């Protein structure tokens, strides 16, 4: 992933990870986190380091003194970083070898151990943009057909369309966290040059995701240029060319009759495109078009179809996390091709008929027809969201579906993914801070309907800047590390933190054997009776509960008998339900 540790020493049973800060007199926190990150990276992703003791050592070459060596190990046998001046280096190693016992490491076996990282979407984007292929990004436990085979199939279809002068639309599915967006990013970065005849663009309606990815890659680009003594030309940002907000792309279609600059267009979360009613309403209000008849999928295909020679559309399809009204679903894309663009070939994931994609009827209407192909390579079956969280999505699904026994059973399969619940927000914050090591990111999240967390200094009406929240460091009050600003489901969808503090308000309450849905308006909670809006609210919590890569704590307020908007009854049954499914209580 581009990290370069200064030195690794294999001595006896110990792996020493050494970082030198030449010319430094002090031990800065960023440097401590850096060497700690190297040790954690080896522990988590280097197969030969899974079962060994790792001791990170930071050496400031101009330091005159250092604190006495204290050896403190966490449960996984990664020790807290030791900070020494050069003359204390030998003593630190000898102290560790006196304490850590075991058989000497097989150095040849260790050096040949496989390294299989599971990056966050931001880390993966950085790697891809640095011109590494998607096959360099491997799932922790997945030697199975995954990103590589799917990416190769997409490349074959792009070459086929270009070589034969055809137009192709592909539908790619995958389990949560399998890497659908990674495949899209791979296509976009591999074809990022504007002079490339297969120039591609990744489009997303997820504004925060677009902002964070763009900012991360732009920062990296500036840092690379700075190292070589160059400056980025004013007004020039190559990242903007291949990662765009879908609505900006759509607006370009109104400016002229020309086709888009891109022959390959990737739509992330394509099922979230608007239906005809939502699109018509927007066009009337914002564009002054009184009678617009296209759904968003129809309009977008129509724009790409302006290419006279060839084009490829790749639709990345998720399921079960709809949180916005007016989403058309994937059936709208299939219907648009069938009725309006029959000259486009359709390549469908073989799993697109699964219930979570809500497209079975649409598939049934076109399956077996001319130009329609089903393809196993267009489904990603292995989740790589987290090396610890393989079963978290299944646990959250059972929890929200009120399947107590299934939730208990699945929770028991998460021994390396700690989950806790508490009524004390200060304790919850203390928990995530204590769990995070090195630069591991933690943050506070809340439902966009959580209006009565304000007594706990959590006001979801205060809009966070996702770029600062996700990318800035521990010294910036706008970052997630300060645990002051809560990000909602809209700001965190598609992104992750290592440790999450999930707040649970009275908008979603467990009552009896199911959920009660509420929206705070004016001075009181209102019942949510609309089935679609209920689904959005439950899915908001689904998003919040699946944002953490390594573990989470859930905060359920005590309520206040003196406050009619927060009586304990609104919270107690939810807390008890979480305890009943086996989540341990912090106290």
Kindly state whether residues 364 and 425 are assigned to the same domain. Answer: no
pTM, entire model: 0.85
As for how many domains the chain has, the answer is 3
Q: Do residue 103 and residue 138 come from a single domain?
A: no
Residue 235 lies in a domain: yes
Same-domain check for residues 431 and 561: yes
Task: Judge whether 219 lies within some domain.
Answer: yes
Q: Looking at residue 281, what is its pLDDT?
A: 83
Q: Is 81 left (phi over 0), alpha (psi -120 to 50) or beta?
A: beta
Distance in angstroms (rounded) separating the CA atoms of residues 140 and 245: 31
Provide long-range contacts, Cβ within 8 A and 24+ apart, for 513-517. Answer: 513/402, 514/402, 515/400, 515/402
Q: Are residues 406 and 360 in the same domain?
A: no
Same domain as 352, residue 260:
yes
Residues 403 and 362 in one domain: no
Any domain includes 2: no
3-class secondary structure, 470: helix
**Distance (Å, rounded) from C-alpha 400 to C-alpha 414?**
17
Q: Is residue 519 helix, strand or coil?
A: strand
Can you give the pLDDT at residue 143?
A: 40
CA distance 237 to 192: 12
Specify whether the CB–CB gap between 57 and 81 falls below 8 A.
yes
Can you give the pLDDT at residue 230?
79
426 Cβ contact partners less than 8 Å away, ≥ 6 residues apart: none
Domain final position from 62, 86, 111: 111
Residue 140 confidence (pLDDT): 44
CA distance linking residue 296 with residue 292, whole number of Å: 10
* Assigned domain for 365 exists: yes
Looking at the structure, tell me whether residues 409 and 510 fall in a common domain. yes
Six-digit token string for 149 = 């085979």
Per-block average pLDDT, block size 10, for the chain (587 residues)? 86 97 95 96 93 97 90 95 95 95 94 85 82 58 62 93 96 81 86 67 89 90 81 68 85 89 91 83 80 88 96 86 65 91 94 76 85 91 66 91 96 93 98 96 97 96 94 96 96 92 98 94 95 90 93 97 97 98 94
pLDDT at 269: 86
Among 111, 133, 158, identify where a domain stops: 111
Q: What is the DSSP string of 20-76?
A: EETT--S--HHHHHHHHHHHHHHHHHBGGGTTSEEEEEEEETT-S--PPP---B-TT
Q: Which residues pair with 46 in a beta bridge?
A: 115
pLDDT of residue 558: 97
pLDDT at 1: 59
Helix, strand, or coil here: 164? helix
Residue 540's CATH number: 3.40.50
Whether 173 and 282 map to the same domain: the answer is: yes
Both 128 and 183 in one domain: the answer is yes
Residue 296 domain flag: yes
**Of 401, 441, 410, 465, which Cα lies nearest the Cα of 552?**
441
Per-residue confidence (pLDDT) for residue 237, from 0 to 100: 66
106 and 125 part of one domain:
no
Q: Are 149 and 139 in contact (CB under 8 A)?
A: no
- Does some domain include residue 481? yes
Helix or strand run (H / E) with residue 549 = strand 548-555
Are residues 300 and 375 both part of a single domain? Answer: yes
pLDDT at 326: 64
Greatest alpha-carbon span in the chain: 80
Q: Kindly state whether residues 325 and 201 are assigned to the same domain.
A: yes
Q: Is residue 387 part of a domain?
A: no
pLDDT digits (tens, 9 = 90+) for 170-186: 999 987 677 788 888 88
In a domain? residue 386: no
Give the structural domain span for 424: 392-580
Q: DSSP per residue over 332-373, as a string? A: HHHHHHHHH-TTSEEEEETTTTSGGGT-HHHHHHHTTSTTEE
**Rounded Cα gap, residues 271 and 315, in angstroms:** 8
Strand partners, 503: 555
3-state secondary structure of 146: coil
Q: Which of 318, 349, 380 is the last residue of a domain?
A: 380
């Amino acid at each position: 992933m581009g990290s370069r540790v200064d030195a690794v020493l294999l001595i006896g049973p110990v792996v020493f990870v050494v970082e030198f800060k030449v010319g430094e007199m002090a031990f800065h926190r960023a440097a401590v986190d850096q060497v700690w990150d190297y040790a954690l990276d080896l522990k988590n992703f280097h197969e030969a380091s899974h079962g060994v003791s790792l001791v990170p050592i930071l050496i400031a070459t101009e330091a005159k003194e250092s604190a006495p060596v204290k050896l403190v190990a966490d449960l996984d046998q990664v020790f807290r970083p030791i900070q020494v001046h050069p003359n204390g280096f030998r003593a630190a190693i000898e102290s560790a070898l006196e304490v850590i016992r075991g058989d000497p490491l097989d150095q040849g076996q260790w050096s040949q151990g496989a390294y299989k990282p599971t990056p966050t979407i931001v880390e993966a984007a950085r790697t891809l943009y640095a011109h590494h292929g998607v096959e360099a990004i491997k799932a922790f436990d997945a030697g199975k057909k995954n990103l590589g085979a799917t990416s190769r199939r997409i490349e074959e279809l792009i070459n086929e369309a270009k070589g034969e002068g055809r137009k192709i639309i592909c539908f790619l599915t995958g389990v949560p966290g399998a890497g659908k967006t990674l495949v899209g990013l791979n296509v976009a970065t591999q074809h990022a040059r504007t002079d490339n005849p297969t120039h591609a663009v990744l489009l997303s309606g997820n504004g925060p995701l677009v902002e964070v990815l763009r900012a991360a890659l732009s920062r990296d680009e500036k840092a690379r240029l700075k190292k070589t003594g160059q400056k980025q030309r004013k007004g020039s940002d190559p990242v903007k060319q291949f990662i765009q907000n879908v609505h900006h792309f759509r607006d370009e279609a109104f400016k002229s009759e020309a086709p888009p600059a891109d022959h390959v267009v990737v739509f992330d979360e394509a099922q979230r495109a608007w239906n005809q009613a939502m699109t018509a309403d927007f066009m009337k209000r914002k564009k002054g078009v009184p009678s617009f008849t296209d759904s968003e999928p129809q309009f977008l295909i129509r724009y790409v179809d302006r290419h006279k020679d060839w084009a490829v559309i790749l639709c990345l399809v998720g399921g079960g996390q709809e949180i916005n009204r007016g989403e058309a679903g994937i059936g709208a894309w299939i219907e648009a091709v069938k009725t309006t663009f029959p000259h486009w070939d359709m390549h469908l994931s073989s799993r697109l008929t699964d219930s979570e994609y809500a497209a079975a009827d649409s598939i049934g209407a076109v399956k077996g027809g001319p130009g329609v192909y089903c393809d196993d390579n267009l489904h990603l079956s292995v989740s790589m969201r987290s090396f610890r969280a393989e079963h978290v999505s299944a646990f959250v699904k059972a929890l929200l579906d009120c399947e107590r026994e299934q939730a208990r059973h699945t929770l028991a399969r998460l021994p390396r993914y700690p989950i806790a619940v508490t009524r004390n927000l200060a304790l919850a914050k203390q928990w995530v801070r204590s769990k995070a090591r090195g630069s591991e990111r933690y943050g506070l999240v809340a439902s966009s309907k959580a209006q009565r967390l304000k007594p706990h200094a959590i006001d979801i009406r205060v809009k966070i800047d996702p770029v600062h929240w996700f990318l800035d460091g521990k010294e910036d009050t706008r970052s997630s590390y300060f645990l002051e600003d809560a990000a909602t489901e809209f700001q965190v969808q598609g992104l992750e933190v290592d440790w999450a503090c999930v707040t649970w308000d009275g908008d979603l309450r467990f009552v009896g054997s199911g959920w009660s849905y509420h929206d705070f308006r004016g001075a009181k909670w209102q019942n949510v009776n609309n089935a679609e809006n209920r689904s959005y609210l439950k899915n908001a919590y689904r998003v919040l509960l699946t944002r953490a890569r390594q573990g989470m704590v859930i905060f359920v307020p005590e309520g206040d008998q003196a406050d009619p908007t927060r009586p304990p009854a609104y919270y107690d049954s939810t807390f008890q339900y979480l305890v009943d499914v086996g989540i341990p209580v912090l106290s």
